[in-house]
């Protein structure tokens, strides 16, 4: 309550109406798989294009080395080709993958390790050249190795400095800097004062410029030093590197320039090469690598890394058909309730009974199975190969959501960039697989290759359609995200009315977009809040309960035209 102590006119603002509720995105995908480079723990990385994926996670993996585990790059490329706009990636690496380093040089001043495991780190190159960030003439030589200089900016205690008179150089280390007076550990010999208008004698700092390169990607850290007290300390400057971890291993206590400590006397440049980086082997991969470990915020791996991500709504692990991994992915989606899993079948599983055997492992409305594998062009081997469909289907989901809305079943959609399918199923086989919840991809004459199924893996007929489950995910996430303002508000009739108006306005907009059935909002949804949904005990314990019912639209899966012969007498 505001205080009114002096006479006057007071203008105040207050909120009385409903707050707009914005729908969440449903087209952001999350992928988990092997890549040649990139972080293996922590938050999944945002990728917005195939080129972006190449910069962060590298190129395609070899079939000989990784077999069925290599499909992440292909899936991401297909995702964008088929209409996806953004995705998040969590990289998995075999247990025997190693990061490249210069550990073979025990006497090296700098310890350098590639940012993440992989043979890519063997191609890292670090080049150092001498540099100086500040120089100034000396105006006066005082007692106790103190020198008054023209400008002490850029000089810090612990820095190695070099005094040059044009013919010789003297090195020393700074003890302290106060105002324009610099105290050195060792006195400079000879005449050091230079008050000329154009000085010829200089006191300069001694640093080096370090370049870290990988292919066309170059990071440059200018004028860094080995002085931990200086803001240009090499560990601080290179801490933002995405290519390498750089640490100071040993430093000379004497007055030796940082570059000379790195390269030795008389060198013009110094190069550091790394070795020992390895991509690991497929034999050392297990289901646990994809399921991941929860080592706490910022250190989670595999599926667990997506716990910290609240943006993703579609999940896939391309080509990984281990039941342990797939069941863990489905459980992850179910526990969060805000995302949907797209599952692949093993490529060799083509017979109807084998497909059904794999399908029987799942009973969830938060996942869908697709078969068969798709034929696409492989830029690595310059030939057509077969890849799992999950990445392509995730792109179809995203495209359908963007063009039609999440209420549209992501089926009867053409697949872009796909030139063939591994198995051509007929109507009789689909008559068996479709009711079981296996979505087939089929080729139709004159219509291309299309997704020809829209069912979840649920035995509950209320949730048998993908678009129904994903619509509810959209509604629940949107209402949850848009209602945070309600928490800790007074639980009174005024609050109930505002909540009802907020949700009613949102659901009316959803109904007008065609996501809810009914000829009027009253037929499409209802909202109950107040004494009919809450007891006094609920209110006393801080609970606000709102019951919402919606009528989702269902896809026209079976289109039946009944035709009869009309006689002239009828």
105 has a pLDDT exceeding 80: no
Mean local confidence (pLDDT), 485-504? 93
CA 187 to each of CA 178, 192, 255, 442: distance values in angstroms, whole numbers, following the listed order: 17, 10, 12, 85
Mean local confidence (pLDDT), 378-390? 94
134 has a pLDDT exceeding 70: yes
CATH no., domain 133-205: 2.40.30
Reported as a single tens digit per residue, the pLDDT across 335-357 is 999 999 999 999 999 999 999 99
Longest CA pairwise span in the chain (Å): 128
**Residue 131 phi, psi dihedral angles, 5° rounding:** -155, 170
Reported as a single tens digit per residue, the pLDDT across 150-172 is 999 999 998 999 999 888 888 89
- The structure's pTM equals 0.89
CA neighbor of 399 nearest in space, from 414, 388, 385: 414
d(CA 515, CA 467): 10
Answer whether 214's CB lies under 8 Å from 124's CB: yes
221 has a pLDDT exceeding 90: yes
411 has a pLDDT exceeding 70: yes
Mean local confidence (pLDDT), 473-494? 94
Answer whether 312's CB lies under 8 Å from 339's CB: yes
Which pLDDT belongs to residue 15? 76
Which pLDDT belongs to residue 506? 95
DSSP run (H or E) holding 507: helix 493-512
Reported as a single tens digit per residue, the pLDDT across 112-125 is 999 999 999 999 99
569 has a pLDDT exceeding 70: no
Which pLDDT belongs to residue 165? 86
Which pLDDT belongs to residue 108? 81
Which pLDDT belongs to residue 192? 87
Q: How confident is the model at residue 568 (pLDDT cuts 50, 70, 90)?
A: low
177-216 CB burial, b ≥16 within 10 A, e <16: beebebbbeeebeeebebeeeebebbbbbbbbbbbbebee
311-322 CB burial, b ≥16 within 10 A, e <16: bbbbbbbbbbbe
Reported as a single tens digit per residue, the pLDDT across 243-301 is 999 999 878 777 888 888 888 877 889 999 999 999 999 999 999 999 999 888 889 99
Q: Cite the residue boundaries of each domain of the chain with CATH code 3.40.50.11780.
A: 29-94+285-468
Which pLDDT belongs to residue 145? 87
Q: How confident is the model at residue 233 (pLDDT cuts 50, 70, 90)?
A: very high
Mean pLDDT of the chain: 92
Give Cα 511 to chain centroid, integer Å: 33
Mean local confidence (pLDDT), 388-414? 96
Which pLDDT belongs to residue 1? 62
Task: Tell the residue number behind the tokens 């063009």, with chain if given.
Answer: 403
Mean local confidence (pLDDT), 350-375? 96
Q: Cite the residue boundaries of each domain of the chain with CATH code 2.40.30.
A: 133-205
Mean local confidence (pLDDT), 45-71? 92
CA 515 to each of CA 476, 477, 506, 533: distance values in angstroms, whole numbers, following the listed order: 14, 15, 12, 26
Mean local confidence (pLDDT), 49-74? 92
Q: How confident is the model at residue 519 (pLDDT cuts 50, 70, 90)?
A: very high
**Portion of the chain with pLDDT greater than 70, in percent:** 99
How many other β-carbons are positioned within 10 Å of the β-carbon of residue 249?
Answer: 15
How many other β-carbons are positioned within 10 Å of the β-carbon of residue 136?
Answer: 21
Which pLDDT belongs to residue 279? 92
d(CA 263, CA 554): 71
Answer whether 277's CB lies under 8 Å from 99's CB: yes
The tokens describing 480, both together, are 């949850």
The strand ranges marked E within 392-524 are 420-421, 438-444, 448-452
Mean local confidence (pLDDT), 369-387? 94
Angle at the Cα of 169 (from 167 to 170), degrees rounded to 5? 145
Q: Cite the residue boundaries of each domain of the chain with CATH code 2.60.40.
A: 110-130+207-273
CATH architecture of the domain formed by 110-130+207-273: Sandwich (2.60)
Which pLDDT belongs to residue 514? 94
CATH no., domain 29-94+285-468: 3.40.50.11780
Partners of 385 in the β-ladder: 376
Q: What is the DSSP letter of 133?
A: S
CA neighbor of 370 nearest in space, from 407, 333, 396: 396
């Amino acid at each position: 309550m505001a205080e009114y102590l002096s006479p006057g006119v007071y203008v105040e603002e207050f909120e009385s109406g409903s707050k707009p509720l914005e729908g969440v995105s449903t087209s952001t995908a999350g992928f988990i798989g092997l890549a040649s480079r990139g972080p293996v723990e922590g938050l999944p990385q945002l990728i917005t294009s195939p080129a972006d994926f190449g910069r962060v996670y590298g190129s395609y993996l070899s079939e000989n080395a990784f077999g069925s585990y290599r499909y992440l790059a292909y899936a991401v490329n297909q995702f964008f080709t088929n209409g996806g706009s953004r995705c998040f990636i969590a990289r998995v690496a075999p247990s025997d993958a190693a990061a490249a380093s210069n550990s073979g040089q025990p006497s090296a001043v700098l310890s350098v390790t590639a940012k993440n495991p992989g043979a890519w780190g063997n191609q890292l190159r670090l080049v150092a050249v001498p540099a100086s960030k500040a120089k100034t003439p000396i105006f006066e030589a005082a007692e106790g190795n103190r020198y008054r200089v023209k400008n002490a900016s850029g000089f810090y205690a612990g820095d190695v400095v070099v005094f040059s008179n044009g013919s010789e150089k003297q090195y020393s280390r700074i003890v302290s800097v106060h105002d324009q007076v610099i105290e050195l550990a060792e006195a400079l010999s000879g005449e050091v004062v230079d008050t000329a208008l154009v000085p010829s004698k200089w006191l300069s700092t001694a640093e080096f410029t370090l370049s870290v390169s990988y292919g066309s990607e170059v990071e440059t850290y200018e004028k860094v030093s080995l002085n931990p007290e200086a803001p240009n300390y090499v560990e601080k400057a290179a801490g933002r590197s995405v290519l390498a971890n750089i640490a100071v291993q040993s430093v000379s206590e004497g007055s030796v320039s940082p570059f000379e400590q790195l390269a030795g006397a008389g060198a013009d440049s110094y190069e550091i090469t790394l070795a020992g980086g390895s991509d690991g082997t497929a034999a050392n991969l297990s289901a646990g690598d994809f399921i991941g470990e929860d080592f706490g915020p910022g250190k989670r791996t595999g599926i667990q890394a997506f716990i910290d991500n609240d943006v993703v709504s579609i999940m896939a692990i391309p080509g990984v058909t281990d039941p342990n991994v797939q069941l863990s992915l489905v459980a992850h989606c179910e526990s969060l309730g805000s995302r949907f899993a797209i599952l692949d079948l093993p490529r060799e599983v083509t017979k109807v009974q084998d497909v059904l055997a794999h399908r029987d492992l799942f009973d969830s409305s938060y996942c869908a199975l697709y078969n068969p594998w798709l034929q696409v062009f492989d830029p690595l081997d310059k030939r057509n190969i077969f890849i799992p469909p999950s990445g392509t289907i995730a792109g179809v989901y995203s495209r359908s959501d963007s063009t039609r809305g999440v209420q549209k079943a992501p089926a009867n959609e053409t697949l872009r960039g796909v030139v063939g399918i591994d198995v051509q199923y007929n109507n009789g086989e689909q008559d068996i697989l479709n009711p079981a919840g296996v979505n087939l991809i089929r080729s139709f004459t004159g219509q291309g290759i299309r997704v020809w199924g829209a069912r979840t893996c649920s035995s509950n007929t209320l949730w048998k359609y993908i678009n129904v489950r994903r619509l509810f995910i959209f509604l629940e996430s949107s209402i949850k995200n848009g209602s945070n303002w309600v928490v800790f508000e007074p639980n009174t009739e005024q609050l109930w009315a505002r909540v009802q108006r907020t949700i009613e306005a949102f659901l009316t907009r959803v109904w007008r977009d065609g996501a809810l059935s009914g000829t009027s909002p009253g037929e499409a949804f209802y909202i109950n809040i107040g004494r009919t949904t809450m007891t006094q005990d609920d209110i006393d314990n801080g609970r606000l309960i709102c019951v919402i019912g919606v009528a989702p639209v269902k896809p026209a899966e079976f289109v039946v035209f009944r035709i009869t012969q009309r006689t002239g007498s009828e």
